[in-house]
Structure 1
Amino acid sequence: MIYSALTRLAEPLLRLQSTLGGQDALRERLVMDARPVAADIWIHGASVGELTSARTIIEDLARDFSVLVTTNTETARQMVTGWGLAARLAPMDLPGTMQRFLNAVHPRLQVTIEGEFWPLRSRELARRGIPQTMIGARMSAKSAGNWGRFPRLIRPILERVEALSAQDALSEERLLRLGARPAAILPKLDLKLLGPAQISPPVDSAARDMTFLAASTHEGEEQVFLDAFVEARKQHSDLRLILAIRHPKRGDEVANLIEQRGLPVIRRSQGAEDGPVLLVDTLGEMARWYAAAGLCFVGGSLNDRGGHTPWEPAAYQCAILYGPHVSNFPDAYAALTAADAARQVTVDSLQTSLAEILAQPARIRAMGHAGRNVLDQRVGAPDGLVTALRDLAKRAV
């Protein structure tokens, strides 16, 4: 009741703001712009990552049904439009907005990728008899704890979900505990593995053995890799470091760190492709660097940022190093470590671990092949999930 009252109060204020401020994105999210297109299936993914991971399934459904994709970012909307599919910014969870959106689209099925939980959206879809589904559903321990404090909000939302495929066992367990119905559970499928599994890994080579990639690094991590590189290069003069920073706007800052260690500053943003240390301060080329490196450190894990996905380096048969903070992908790192495809290091142990692995090129290759094997074994087939979604979409509304 409190949530509903607040949204009723907020909606006219937001409409006034969008009119006075000329904010096109806000008007689109309030469905005050052009009428949304009608579609059999409404698919929602928060941003580029979620939608990219589900692209195979989205395009499969689009072969037989009309599809409208919504997202929270203009970049993701543009990406989906580039796939040749109808896309727009997602409607806000407001009473009039949801009414206008659903009156126009009139979907037979709603699909949410990974997970966003909106009370009014859920209730209005249920009132209209539109099946709600979640694919690649993810629920972290932190999010589960937060939602657990509001059972009257989360439980009805999850109870209305008719088909739910979690991305891992822990997420499934948490979603069930919060209110998902056991009868709605479909086989687990980690959508983020579908794309990497389609990658053809490069062949082993001496050049890859001696190329160390620090991928998607954050502030406070680069100096650790640079110091470890300087030390390791005393024993391996042909060692190369590719430093691919997460945020290119930090390029000048990281270039200064490189210069402070007496190393030449060679930047990808200036067109460079090679060098003892290559600073990758650009976006959109990670596949190139994974293919070039036999050994990869996955950033965001030395500092407490939860770590980034290990499946892309695994797809390219990179031996994987990672820090102690991988709460975003605990199951993935545990599986890779158990298969001797990945090794955890700390700030203090990185130099020693790097020296040990570089002394054993065969170990680098064995770890890389082991990681790819884990990926291939875990990816699963989306056929059953797609069939379930198709069956739900065939229901008459």
Structure 2
Amino acid sequence: MILIFFYNLLLMLVSPFLLLYFLIQSICINKRRGGVLRKLGFYPLNHTFENTIVIHCVSVGETLSVIPFITKISQMFDRNIILTTTTKTGWSIANERLLDKVKKVEFFPLDFPFSVLSFFRKYSPKCIVITETELWPNVIFFAKLKGIPVFVINGRISDRSFPRYKKFKWFFRNFLEHPFFMMQTDSDRKRIIEMGAIKEKVIVTGNIKYDFVDEKLEIDRKAFGLSDDDLVWIAGSTHDKEEEIIIKTYKKLAESFKNVKLIIAPRHPERFEIVENLVKNLGLKYVLRTENKSIEEVMILNTIGELKTFYSLCDIAFVGGSLVNIGGHNIIEPAIFEKPILFGPYMQNFRDISETFLKNCAAFQVDENTIFPIMYNLIENVDLRKKIGKKAKEIILSNSGSLEKTLTFILDKLNVGKKSI
């Protein structure tokens, strides 16, 4: 109680600066526009909800990865599901993809006491499900006070964040006693317990991202001017500095292989124009996805939520955030479609997954110097591409099952039997 008092006192002291920051962010950065008042707890008073299940995802990646969970739970629970997110792009994707499975898509409240309590009054959660260890003291404190169980699913503590958490474990220990944690690996389990979680409330369920929804994506290569002989290389979720490496590598490859096309998908929308200028300055012919034109050399995927679709039509996939020290992104989606995968040396956010793929020769780790020769070899060798892609899909199938473990654990703690749902 004393710690939460001082935490909120600190929030009160810095709140003018935080509110100014959020105001500037909402004005200057398009993806954060909208939802600021709702994040602060100002909701329309015309309708309230009862006994909701709140499922929180931070952004687009988490929203897309939790689709199998929401699909399953929407079939099982005869209750209102409120899906919350932090970013405007995540909110847009959730509204586009999941409105038929949830009651409402909402912005998650900022961790001010008045915001959290206003959210609880509006949506009356029966339980709160949080993806990937998104921990907010006031949310957990008031949930505990109101007897609302909190479940953290697909939890992970990255190599980068763990040292920071350890420095403040004297603080986090007081809030980690309430939630139930379903962690991806035993290493994650040990880390969250060391930070203060109760050992008996922590289990290892694996990575829920392996439990993909086996959807058939209908996409016509010919709609983009691609022939059967064209080879498509997609670079997904790219970041500053690695985009230039990718584009220069492609230009060099195109000198030897005239049939190679590049689709590059920047991670953040504010980089669309920057990447367009990079391609233009290197003298390459390009189109934007929104133009719906044929790909001559390069396409810039300047849309949100279509990356999985384009992974399905590519021949080789590079997963970004890994040539620069970001920590990498999800390599499971291209693996679902049996694609050979490349990623850089910085995969600490997906350490266990990337190590599993490398150990089983189901992916290639590259750097600025090796990406060209490895790509060259893959382009020349169709049998190698098929072999690596097949191994990648086998890993996905052999590691599935996390979704069932997660649902079983939650239902057990809520004292709800599957037959009665």
TM-score with structure 2 setting the length: 0.80
Asked whether the equivalents of residues 68 and 213 of structure 2 are also in contact (C-alpha less than 8 Å), the reply is no
Correspondent of 2:149 among 131, 135, 146: 131
Which residue of structure 1 aligns with residue 313 of structure 2?
292
Identity %: 26
1:5 is matched by which residue type in structure 2? L
Which residue of structure 2 aligns with residue 4 of structure 1?
8
Query: In 1, Cα distance between the equivalents of 2:60 and 2:286?
Result: 31
Correspondent of 1:188 among 198, 201, 205: 205
Instruction: Determine if the alignment matches structure 1 residue 389 to structure 2 residue 410.
Output: yes
Mapping for residues 1-397 of structure 1, pairs under 5 Å = 1=3, 2-7=6-11, 25-35=35-45, 36-62=48-74, 63-81=77-95, 82-83=99-100, 84-161=102-179, 163-195=180-212, 198=215, 207=228, 210-247=231-268, 249-394=270-415
Alpha-carbon spacing, 1:315–1:353, altered in 2? closer, same or farther (3 Å): same
- CA drift of 1:193 comes to 2.7
TM-superposition CA deviations, 1:61-113 (whole Å, max 9, x none): 34322333333234444554533423332233333444444345443322212
> 222-231 or 326-335, which moves further after superposition?
222-231
2:51 is matched by which residue type in structure 1? A
Query: In 1, Cα distance between the equivalents of 2:15 and 2:42?
Result: 12
TM-superposition CA deviations, 1:25-66 (whole Å, max 9, x none): 444234343344222433322233323322333344343223
1:184 is matched by which residue type in structure 2? K
Query: In 2, Cα distance between the equivalents of 1:15 and 1:248?
Result: 24
Query: In 1, Cα distance between the equivalents of 2:185 and 2:177?
Result: 19
SS at structure 2 position matched to 1:328: helix
Alpha-carbon spacing, 1:77–1:200, altered in 2? closer, same or farther (3 Å): closer
Query: In 2, Cα distance between the equivalents of 1:347 and 1:361?
Result: 23
Any stretches of 5+ residues in structure 1 without a counterpart? none
- CA drift of 1:271 comes to 2.3
TM-superposition CA deviations, 1:334-353 (whole Å, max 9, x none): 11111111111111122222
Asked whether the equivalents of residues 341 and 368 of structure 1 are also in contact (C-alpha less than 8 Å), the reply is yes
1:212 is matched by which residue type in structure 2? W
Root-mean-square deviation (CA), in Å?
Answer: 3.4
TM-superposition CA deviations, 1:237-289 (whole Å, max 9, x none): 33333333334554554445445555433443432233233343444432343
Asked whether the equivalents of residues 80 and 87 of structure 1 are also in contact (C-alpha less than 8 Å), the reply is yes
Asked whether the equivalents of residues 89 and 304 of structure 2 are also in contact (C-alpha less than 8 Å), the reply is no
Query: In 1, Cα distance between the equivalents of 2:375 and 2:324?
Result: 18
- CA drift of 1:212 comes to 2.1
TM-superposition CA deviations, 1:326-378 (whole Å, max 9, x none): 12211111111111111111111222222222232100110011111111111
- CA drift of 1:300 comes to 2.1
Alpha-carbon spacing, 1:243–1:101, altered in 2? closer, same or farther (3 Å): closer
Asked whether the equivalents of residues 342 and 363 of structure 2 are also in contact (C-alpha less than 8 Å), the reply is yes
> 180-189 or 250-259, which moves further after superposition?
250-259
- CA drift of 1:133 comes to 1.5
TM-score with structure 1 setting the length: 0.84
Asked whether the equivalents of residues 205 and 406 of structure 2 are also in contact (C-alpha less than 8 Å), the reply is no
Asked whether the equivalents of residues 307 and 328 of structure 1 are also in contact (C-alpha less than 8 Å), the reply is yes
Alpha-carbon spacing, 1:356–1:58, altered in 2? closer, same or farther (3 Å): closer
Q: How many residues in Structure 1 have an aligned counterpart in Structure 2? A: 388
1:166 is matched by which residue type in structure 2? M
Query: In 1, Cα distance between the equivalents of 2:20 and 2:343?
Result: 49
SS at structure 2 position matched to 1:215: strand
Asked whether the equivalents of residues 197 and 376 of structure 1 are also in contact (C-alpha less than 8 Å), the reply is no
TM-superposition CA deviations, 1:298-345 (whole Å, max 9, x none): 222222222221111111111111111112211111111111111111
2:84 is matched by which residue type in structure 1? T
Query: In 2, Cα distance between the equivalents of 1:357 and 1:176?
Result: 43
Query: In 1, Cα distance between the equivalents of 2:325 and 2:19?
Result: 39
Any stretches of 5+ residues in structure 2 without a counterpart? 23-32, 220-226, 417-421
Asked whether the equivalents of residues 93 and 305 of structure 2 are also in contact (C-alpha less than 8 Å), the reply is no
Asked whether the equivalents of residues 98 and 121 of structure 1 are also in contact (C-alpha less than 8 Å), the reply is yes
Query: In 2, Cα distance between the equivalents of 1:179 and 1:247?
Result: 34
Asked whether the equivalents of residues 208 and 294 of structure 1 are also in contact (C-alpha less than 8 Å), the reply is no
Query: In 2, Cα distance between the equivalents of 1:93 and 1:137?
Result: 20
